[in-house]
Amino acid sequence: MTYSPHGRHLIAGDWTASTATFRSDPAHGPAHEFGEATADLVDRACQAAEDAFWSYAETTRAERAAFLRAIAEEIEARAAAITQIATAESGLPQARIEGERGRTTGQLRLFADHIERGDYLDRRVDPALPDRTPLPRPDIRMVQRPLGPVAVFGASNFPLAFSTAGGDTASALAAGCPVVLRGHQAHPGTAEIIAEAIHAAITRCGMPAGVFALLQGGGNAVGQALVTHPLIRAVGFTGSLRGGRALFDLCAGRPEPIPFFGELGSINPMFILPQALGARGTAIAQGWAASLTMGAGQFCTNPGVAIVIDGPDAARFAQAAQSALGDVAAQTMLTDGIAAAYRSGCAAALAAPGVDPLIQGQADGRTALPVLLRVSGDTWQSRPDLHHEVFGPLGILITVRDAPQMEAIARDLEGQLTCTLHLDAGDTDHARRLMPILERKAGRVLANGFPTGVEVCDAMVHGGPYPASTNFGATSVGTMAIRRFLRPVAYQNMPAALLPQDLQEG
């Protein structure tokens, strides 16, 4: 099935055209024209979202759960067309898009189940104690309430699961917050067809028309207008450190600052301890190569750094990684700009003193080949310019003198989404010394695995200290993501008829 985009924005339930347009740049297939959003369209979308909030925030959890499930069903009804447009725009293979679509609908249903249970509301009741001395205690009840309209920015590397109906949108809608979505310019057709699915679910479930809006294009001016609009109460973002930090600063600089939940960047280091390196070094190296190059390395959990203690086992590990990466063919990247940034980042790393290039994959245009570099622990510690994420299949092998230097490197890490330990039983004491460090550095700590692949479940944390994310207490994946768009409200001596329904039920 072929999908032909109409190129309009969705505002207050209407598909709205704009005079200025931009042209998509697909990996293959025809390009299409899409309307450029304006500050006026941002204002209209935000006003509609605010109008919708008054009724949407009062819907029952069962009604919102039915809405989330309806979105999932409408996405599945468009499965073939979504696959067609998403693979054309992104260059990602069909299996990846189909898997990502399943993840998108799966998390919508997971959130529906979660809000129906009601645990996320953290309801607390302290009944009145009128006879308490020296002073009586009033009746106080607390529950989590939705914030208001939320702005969400679609991600380049996940056209479905982190974009139009992805985790930020799904969690905001689950919380009771309308969403104004800024589609990513890399896959506007995909954004549009998913918005059509959401619009169909809105109509089917009788939800207020302004509960979801899609705005396309418009450049930095539209992004700025969205995050600074006085009716927006929070922002969800997945993208680059530079872009995310600019939006974060705008949110903080508003007359009334708002929370910015940005997932920005991470090198996701792996610490490979001596016993595991000696016993399983080749297998770990092969697994690293597969994880490093999955999706052309365009995952926020891409394990860009491996740290080993120097010696014969480290040399064998390097050889195994070099062999495995040497067999990887050129892969299409999401955009020409991402491919150019990857080549630029690799060139800068290669030019740094003390860098030993093991693989220097060269590719042109929108494609990428893996690059593998080796540096000593001393070089790594003296070259902070090597510590920045390069989005793509670049791996850096750090060979350290000993366990203390490995621990020193761990202590010097910036915030990460993930840190990984590869260990065998004989490495336990070393791992115990690393664990207090790593749990301060990352939102997720793994053992004997690879961080690519983020399970959508209750216990998942996809976030971490800055610059991995801008709010270390939040996650953008898993059911706890809903809590980002809620705030606690206490009700003192409130008549039962005036309490929120969730407190009346509790």
Q: Give the separation between CA 179 and CA 212, rounded to whole angstroms.
A: 5
Q: Side-chain half-sphere of 192: how many Cα atoms within 13 Å?
A: 26
Q: Give the separation between CA 360 and CA 391, rounded to whole angstroms.
A: 16
Q: Side-chain half-sphere of 487: how many Cα atoms within 13 Å?
A: 8
Could you say which of 50, 74, 263, 389 is catalytic?
263
Report phi then psi at 477, rounded to 5.
-130, 140
Please name which of 264, 390, 265, 392 lies closest in space to residue 332, comparing C-alpha atoms.
Answer: 392
441: left (phi over 0), alpha (psi -120 to 50) or beta: alpha
Give the position of tokens 């990887």. 328
Does the active-site annotation cover 46?
A: no
Could you list the beta-strand ranges (E) of 319-441. Answer: 331-332, 356-360, 367-368, 371-376, 394-400, 416-422
Q: Dig out the tokens for 417 from the structure.
A: 């989404």
DSSP string of 12-58, one letter each residue: TTEEE--SSEEE---SSS---EEEPP-HHHHHHHHHHHHHHHHHHTT
Give the position of tokens 């997945």. 238
Q: Dig out the tokens for 183 from the structure.
A: 């589609």
**How many CB atoms lie under 10 A from the CB of residue 260?**
22
Q: What angle do CA 186, 189, 193 make, to 5 degrees?
A: 135
Q: Are 140 and 492 in contact (CB under 8 A)?
A: yes
Give the position of tokens 């899609």. 214
Torsion on CA atoms 3, 7, 11, 15, rounded to nearest 10: -70
Please name which of 114, 160, 106 lies closest in space to residue 483, comparing C-alpha atoms.
Answer: 114
Q: Give the separation between CA 345 and CA 364, rounded to whole angstroms.
A: 15
Does the active-site annotation cover 177?
A: no
* Exposed e or buried b per residue across 264-287, where buried means at least 16 C-beta atoms within 10 angstroms of its C-beta: bbbbbbbbbbbbbbbebbbebbbb
Check residue 450 and report its DSSP letter: -
Q: Dig out the tokens for 441 from the structure.
A: 């550095």
Distance (Å) of CA 118 to CA 115, 194, 197, 485: 5, 28, 26, 15
Could you say which of 251, 300, 346, 419 is catalytic?
300
End-to-end CA distance of the chain: 48
Give the catalytic positions in this structure: 263, 300
